[in-house]
Structure 1
Amino acid sequence: MELVIDTHTHTLASGHAYSTIIENAAASKHKGLALLCTTDHAPSMPGAPHEWFFSNSRVLPRFIHDIGILRGCESNIMNVDGNIDLLAVTTPYLDWVIGSFHEPVFPPSSKQEHTQALLNVIKSGRVDALGHLGNPRYAFDIQSVLLCAKEHNVAIEVNNTSLTGIARVGSDIICDKIVEVGKEIGVYFTTGSDAHFCDDIAKFDHVIPLLEKHQIPEDKIITTSTSRFLNFLQLRGRQAIPEFEHLY
């Protein structure tokens, strides 16, 4: 299996990452990617940049080191209502928005509350993917959330960092179940390294074996081709990106 896009990466701007977007793009080129989503943490995360950082992402060139750049954000799911910490006026400047739980922003609660928050953020239409869902501190009803994600064309992230056993310990077991159920339901999967240092860009050494274990069809993994990914964004109602015309 070949993955040509990394949809979850961080730069110095996140406050606890260690590389620039130029370094991340150079690493992407070295590792054979075609597109890179830059997804720094949204403002509610400690150390994260101001809202203006994301609205000003329009100044980023569409290609750095010949790698197509998707202007994105890892937003925080704020509450049971499924609100995220980006203003509605900001999201039109972005190509790709992940919604994730983070302890400093949404302290772990009950399975029922986590489930309701995920259902509401999906239905809001404001996120393109749900990030690192395997965290055992955020138990949720996998079946109902994935059914809702399929209905609303929200991708389910398979996060390499979650599978290492170092971060979000215990995620590997839950991620396995999510992928298993996701295949049965027919959700779209996306793949993110969650790199906080450029050497970890495109690191999918745990992601690929998990997807292959469950024999996920390539047409359900939106990162297996540029056209698949960009067409998924259009499926979600986003406008085509003229600079990427040759990649559709």
Structure 2
Amino acid sequence: MDIVIDSHTHTVASGHAYSTIIENALAAKHKQLKLLCTTDHAPQMPGAPHYWHFNNQRILPRFLHGVGILRGVEANTLNVQGEIDLPASTDQHLDWVIASFHEPVFKPATEADHTEALLNVIKSSRVDVLGHLGNPNYPFDIEKVLRCAKEFNVAIEVNNTSLTGKSRKGSDVRCSTIVEVGKAVGVYFTTGSDAHFCEEIARLDLAIDLLKQHGVDEEKVLTTSTSRFLNFLLLRGKQEIPEFETLYE
């Protein structure tokens, strides 16, 4: 399975990451990626950048070191209503929106609360992908949420960092179940390194292995093709990116 996009990466702006967008792009080039999603933490995460960091991403070149740059965010799911921590006015400036649970922002609650929050964030139409769902602190009704994600064309992330055992410990078993159910339901998957340092860019080996283990069709893995990924964004209602014209083919 050839991955050409890293859909979840952080820069020093996130407050607890250690590389710049330039360093990340250079690492992506060396690792032969075609596209890089830059997805710093949204404002409610301690140490995260403010509103203007995300609204001003329009100044970023569409290519850095020959790698296409997708302007994004890892937003925080705030509550059971499925709200995220950026105003709707920011959406027009973003190509790619991840929604994730983070303990400092959404205190772990009941399975019912987590399920309701995920269903509502999917239905909000503001997010393109659900991030690191394997976190055992946030159990939810997997089949119910994934069927909703399929209906609303929201992708499911397979987060490589969650599979390393170094972060969100205990995620590996839940991630396996999520991929198994996701395959049966027919969701779209993405693969994200969740890199917080440039050397982690494109580190996706564990995510790839898990998808292979469950026999997920490559056509359901958005990050295997620039065309697949960018056309998914069109399916989500995003505007075509003129600079990436040849990458839609």
Tell me the TM-score normalized by structure 2: 0.99
For residues 75-131 of structure 1, give each alpha carbon's deviation from its aligned partner in whole angstroms, at most 9, with x where no partner exists: 000000000001100111000000000000000000000000000000000000000
* Structure 2 SS opposite 1:68: strand
Tell me the equivalent position of 2:48.
48
Deviation string for 1:57-90 (max 9, x for gaps)? 0000000000000000000000000000011001
Query: Which aligned runs of 4 or more in structure 1 are off by greater than 3 angstroms?
Result: none
Q: What's the secondary structure of 2:74's corresponding residue? A: strand
Aligned to 1:116: 116
Shift of 1:150: 0.1
Q: Deviations over 1:221-245 (max 9, x none)?
A: 0000000000000000001100000
What is the aligned residue count?
248
Aligned to 1:175: 175
Counterpart-to-counterpart distance in 2, 1:180 and 1:109:
25
Cα deviation digits, residues 24-76 of structure 1 (max 9, x gap): 00000000100000000000000000001000000000000000000000000
Partner of 2:104: 104
Matches within 5 A, 1:216-231: 216-231=216-231
Aligned to 1:128: 128
User: Unmatched 5+ residue regions in structure 1?
Assistant: none
Separation in 2, partners of 1:91, 1:172: 32
Q: Residue 89 of structure 2: SS of its match in structure 1?
A: coil
Note the 1:1-248 alignment, pairs <5 A: 1-248=1-248
Once residues 167 and 90 of structure 1 are traced to their aligned partners in structure 2, the CA distance between those partners, rounded to angstroms, is 29
CA distance in 2, matches of 1:43, 1:33: 28
Tell me the distance in 1 between the aligned counterparts of 2:214 and 2:205: 15
Query: Offset at 1:168?
Result: 0.3
Distance in 2 between the 1:161 and 1:234 partners? 28
TM-score, length of structure 1 as denominator length: 1.00
What's the RMSD between the two structures over aligned residues?
0.3
Q: Which amino acid aligns with 1:136?
A: P
